[in-house]
Structures are given as C-alpha cells and as structure tokens.
Amino acid sequence: MGVQFCNDCGNLLDISSLETLQCERCGTTTKNEALSHTQTSVSENFPSKLRDKLRSHTQQVTHKTVGSGPEIDLDCIKCPSKKVTYAQVQLRSADEGSTIFYTCIQCGHRWQEDN
C-alpha cells in the first residue's frame, strides 16, 4: 500500500482498507486510491494537486508589474547617465531582504540588487 495525502491541505492520510478516507486535519473525504492502484511519485509532483495550488499563488515579476518607479541619482554602468528609476520588490521570504530593480532613463539598461 502506498501513502496518500489530502488534496486540500496536504496532510498524510491514514492507511485503511475502507473505500474512502477522511482527513483528520480538515475533514475532507477522499477516495482511497491505494485500493485500486499503486502510484510511484517523485518529489517534484508529490502531492501534485497541492503543489499546483501553491504555484497558482506565485507572483510573476516583470517590467510591466514592477513599473518605472521613482527617479534617483545613480550612475549607470552602460552609459554616462546619472538618472535611473527603481522599484523594490519582495521576491524571497518575508524574513529576507528585498530586491531592487534599477532602469537607466537614458539607455534603458536594467539591473538588480539584492538587499
């Protein structure tokens, strides 16, 4: 018998010979897939339905979502301009520093700095 996880909360479900399993954490009832087949999984897709839910809330950071931001005095390394715009974004976990994206006003060169 293989292990089975709750599709809603990811809790490990008890092994049982019953046709349905109930999650002790959230109460969701799930078909006992261990009775009908054996499934081999790797960490990348295990539990896949829960992983898909987590990925659906991932923030996409692009030049459009960051925007141009305020203008500051900072030397561009690609041209003689001393004016750039910047945007500060929290890409990593909340207990780590943010990332600052800079864009040169004159040549459009972009770079980032991790705080």
Residue stretches of the annotated binding site for Zn(2+) = 6, 9, 23, 26, 76, 79, 104, 107
Pairing label, strands 20-22, 99-104: unpaired
DSSP 53-105: HHHHTPPP--HHHH----EEE---SSSS--EEEEEEE--S-TTS--EEEEEET
**Residue 83, beta-bridge partner list:** 73
Q: Which residues are annotated as a binding site?
A: 6, 9, 23, 26, 76, 79, 104, 107
